[in-house]
Amino acid sequence: MALIEAHGLRKRYGATVALGGIDLSIEEGRILGLIGPNGAGKTTALNAILGLAPFEGELRVLGLDPWTERDALMREVCFIADVAILPRWIKVSQALDYVAGVHPRFDRAKAEGFLAKTSIKRTSRVKELSKGMVAQLHLALVMAIDARLLVLDEPTLGLDLLYRKQFYDSLLNDYFDHTRTIVVTTHQVEELQNILTDVMFLNGGRIVLSHSMEEFEARYVEALVGPEQLAAARALKPIYEREVFGRSVLLFDGADRKQLAALGEVRTPSIADVFVAVIGGENGIYGASAKGVNR
C-alpha cells in the first residue's frame, strides 16, 4: 500500500480551484520533490496531507484519513514550514524540553547530537539566532522524532547557500534511511536534483508531470547544436528551445540519444530546464519557444 494515496483530490477557496481533482501515489522510502510556480496548489496539497484543511475526494496518509484521524497521523509525521514557528522568546533548552514533553517518539539525545554539530548554544533564545540557526534547530528537533513521513514546505527559504547545503546534507546523512518518506516543496530545484527519488510538477491545481528520477533521466534529453545542425535537430520535434552563446539548446521528450549525438553535444537536463519547458509552455510565458510538451 502506498504511504500517501489520493484519488480525485479537490480543494476550492470560493471560486478559486486550488486542486482540481488530482491522483497521486507515493510509496514508502521515497523523496518526492513537489515543484510548481506560486499558486500551483503545492501548499494546499501539503495542508490536505497534514490534515490542516478539509478536502474533497479520497486521501489516505499512512492508511489514515488526515482530516478525521489527524491525532493518530501526527504521531507518525513531522513538518517544517517556510516560516519558523518556534516562539522567539523560547530558549533552545526549553524547546528541547517542550518537544520531549509532547511527543512520545522524540529522542532528546539524538537532538543534542545534531545540535552539537552546530554553534547553537543551549542558553540562547530563538530571537538571538540567525535564520540559518533557527532552521538548524528546527531540523534537529524534527530529525530526532522517529516519524515515518517528513513534510517540508520551502524549508530553506531565505537561507544562504552554505546553510541550504548543510540542511540537505543533514537530511540525507542523518535522517533518511530508505524507509522514511520525505515530501519537499521548493523553488530552488537545482539543489534538490541529486537527493530526489521522484519529481512531480503542479500547475493550476493539476499534476502536469510525475516521474521517478530514473524515468526522468531516461526520458528527457538536451542537445547543444550549432547553426548547421539546427534544422535537423528541430525536425526531431523538441519540446523547448533556447539559445546559448550562438548555439541552440533543444530539449526532447523521448528522443533517440544516438540520433541526437550525431547532431551535437547530448546531456541530461536539469529539473529546472524541464520545469521551464513544461510550466513555461503551459503558462504561455515563453511563447513559441515551448513546443508541444508531452506528458
What the chain holds in terms of domains, given with CATH numbers, is: 4-204 (3.40.50.300), 215-289 (3.30.70)
Q: Indicate if the pLDDT at residue 168 is higher than 90.
A: no
What whole-number percentage of the chain has pLDDT above 90? 69
pLDDT in the model for residue 83: 56
pLDDT in the model for residue 127: 94
Work out the average pLDDT over 143-159. 88
Q: Indicate if the pLDDT at residue 294 is higher than 90.
A: no
CA distances from 207 to 66, 99, 200, 210, 227 (A): 21, 36, 7, 7, 36
pTM as predicted: 0.88
Q: 68-72, 85-89, 126-130: which range is least confident on average?
A: 85-89
Q: For residue 265, which amino acid is it?
A: E
